[in-house]
């Protein structure tokens, strides 16, 4: 790791996994590559799902078939739309695809209520525009413009956060694969080069914010990224991700598997609305995703190292859970109280981790 990269909190996927991508490139020489792709579809799949032979770490878990379908979509003319609950790794997956296919995951448009047509197409350097007129030098290209010119994957995050009239700017761009520039005269246009495609993401909880039009939906193939259902797999995944996040600190902190099991059980039960004993509970509006569980485990581990005795325990899970659940819905606190009083309290009678969890949970009703 260079001195420069050591000072960066998070590198892009193509930088973080540069060694893996290089190994894949070397092993990929005899595989057919689509025009505009840096690597073959087989190599892209191996990069995302992992490969023991080449020491490629798996980066997306739980649905290999979804990855295969997504790759096939990106080979064709349709865009790829990843939808799902918040925290199901949609953005991470789009970044991995862009890094493996184009070597550049930075061509990204972030959808917001303030996103304008300029953010999607192009704008102008007005000083140059006044001095020289509408020339190529005065044009300020958007990530989508650059993706079309360079033949790369473009990412459009949270597309349903954009107003409908802004979303629909994409309709003709995705259909014709060209962008008209009327300010530069008749016939001025940008034609997409091979390798260009668009990956959009949208949260299912954003339905009703700005629903996509039927015309725009037809330009995409939709794939739903679902939460992990298998508790044992989620426990293993959180362990792996936690150690990766902690880095060198991982060896200085004791992380009992029983505490991670408690964390996963709590998240899965609150996410699904049913307990492992067959009871029914109300689910909070807060996001109870695997990614959020990793964040909780990471915060608890840091607390154990810097403020505790270096051992992760159930009480820390309860304290960090407050910040996850108590967002903007007052009813969520009632739902968590019910869970603590009727589920955690009973388990606390027979298990030390649940006892520490329940005792610390009293913070919820102070």
Average pLDDT rounded to a whole number, residues 210-238: 91
What percent of the chain has a predicted confidence (pLDDT) above 90? 75
What count of Cα atoms within 13 Å lies in the side-chain half-sphere of residue 352? 4
- pLDDT of residue 168 exceeding 60, the answer is yes
Average pLDDT rounded to a whole number, residues 339-365: 89
- pLDDT of residue 322 exceeding 70, the answer is yes
What is the C-alpha radius of gyration for the chain, rounded to an integer number of angstroms?
24
What are 18's two structure tokens?
């540069």
Between 91-105, 112-126, 235-249, the lowest mean confidence (pLDDT) is in 235-249
Q: Is 180 helix (H, G, I), strand (E, B) or coil?
A: strand
Domain 3-225 falls in which CATH fold? Rossmann fold (3.40.50)
Task: Decide which of 43 and 278 is more confident.
Answer: 43
- pLDDT of residue 2 exceeding 50, the answer is no
Q: What is the pLDDT of residue 349?
A: 93
pLDDT band at 186 (very low <50, low <70, confident <90, very high): confident
Average pLDDT rounded to a whole number, residues 307-320: 93
Q: What is the pLDDT of residue 3?
A: 42
What count of Cα atoms within 13 Å lies in the side-chain half-sphere of residue 76? 11
Which tens digit of pLDDT belongs to each residue from 10-33? Answer: 899 999 999 999 999 999 999 999
pLDDT band at 365 (very low <50, low <70, confident <90, very high): low
- Please list the residues that pair with 201 across neighbouring strands: 82
Sign of the four-CA dihedral 298, 299, 300, 306: positive
- pLDDT of residue 211 exceeding 90, the answer is no
Q: What is the pLDDT of residue 361?
A: 87
Task: Decide which of 283 and 72 is more confident.
Answer: 72
In this structure, the dihedral spanned by the alpha carbons of residues 327, 330, 335 and 340, taken in order and rounded to 10 degrees, is 70
Q: What is the pLDDT of residue 364?
A: 64
Q: What is the pLDDT of residue 328?
A: 64
- pLDDT of residue 206 exceeding 70, the answer is no
Kindly report the average pLDDT of the chain as a whole number. 91
Q: What is the pLDDT of residue 5?
A: 47
Average pLDDT rounded to a whole number, residues 264-291: 90
Are 192 and 237 spatial neighbours (Cβ–Cβ below 8 Å)? no
pLDDT band at 6 (very low <50, low <70, confident <90, very high): low
Between 39-48, 88-97, 170-179, 184-193, the lowest mean confidence (pLDDT) is in 184-193
Q: What is the pLDDT of residue 242?
A: 93
Q: What is the pLDDT of residue 298?
A: 95
Q: What distance, in Å, lies between the first and last C-alpha atoms of the chain?
A: 46
Are 83 and 203 spatial neighbours (Cβ–Cβ below 8 Å)? yes
- The runs of H, that is alpha helices, within 106-180 are 117-120, 126-132, 143-150, 164-167, 169-176
CA distance 316 to 69: 40
What percent of the chain has a predicted confidence (pLDDT) above 70? 96
């Amino acid at each position: 790791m260079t001195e420069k990269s050591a000072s960066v909190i998070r590198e892009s996927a193509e930088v973080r996994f540069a060694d893996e991508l290089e190994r894949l490139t070397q092993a990929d020489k005899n595989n057919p590559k689509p025009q505009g792709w840096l690597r073959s579809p087989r190599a892209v799949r191996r990069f995302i799902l992992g490969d023991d032979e080449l020491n490629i770490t798996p980066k997306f878990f739980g649905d290999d078939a979804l990855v295969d379908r997504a790759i096939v979509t990106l080979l064709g003319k349709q865009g790829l739309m990843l939808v799902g609950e918040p925290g199901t790794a949609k953005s991470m997956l789009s970044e991995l695809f862009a890094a493996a296919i184009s070597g550049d995951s930075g061509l990204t448009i972030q959808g917001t209520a303030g996103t304008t047509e300029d953010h999607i197409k192009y704008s102008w350097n007005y000083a140059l525009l006044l001095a020289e007129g509408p020339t190529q030098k005065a044009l300020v290209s958007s990530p989508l413009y650059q993706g079309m010119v360079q033949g790369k994957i473009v990412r459009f995050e949270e597309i349903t956060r954009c107003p409908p009239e802004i979303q629909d700017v994409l309709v003709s761009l995705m259909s014709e694969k060209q962008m008209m520039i009327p300010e530069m005269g008749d016939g001025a246009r940008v034609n997409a080069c091979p390798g260009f495609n668009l990956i959009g993401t949208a949260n299912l909880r954003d339905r009703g914010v700005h629903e996509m039009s039927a015309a725009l939906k037809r330009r995409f193939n939709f794939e739903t990224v679902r939460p992990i259902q298998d508790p044992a797999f989620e426990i293993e995944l959180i362990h792996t991700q936690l150690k990766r996040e902690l880095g060198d600190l991982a060896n200085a902190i004791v992380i009992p598997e029983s505490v991670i099991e408690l964390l996963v059980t709590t998240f899965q039960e609150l996410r699904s609305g049913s307990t492992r004993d067959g009871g029914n509970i109300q689910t909070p509006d807060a996001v109870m995703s695997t990614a959020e569980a990793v964040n909780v485990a990471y915060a608890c581990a840091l607390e154990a190292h810097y403020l505790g005795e270096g051992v992760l325990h159930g009480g820390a899970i309860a304290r960090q859970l407050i910040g996850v659940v108590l967002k903007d819905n007052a009813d969520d606190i009632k739902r968590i109280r019910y869970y603590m009083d009727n589920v955690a309290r009973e388990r606390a009678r027979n298990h030390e981790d649940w006892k520490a969890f329940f005792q610390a949970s009293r913070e919820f009703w102070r």
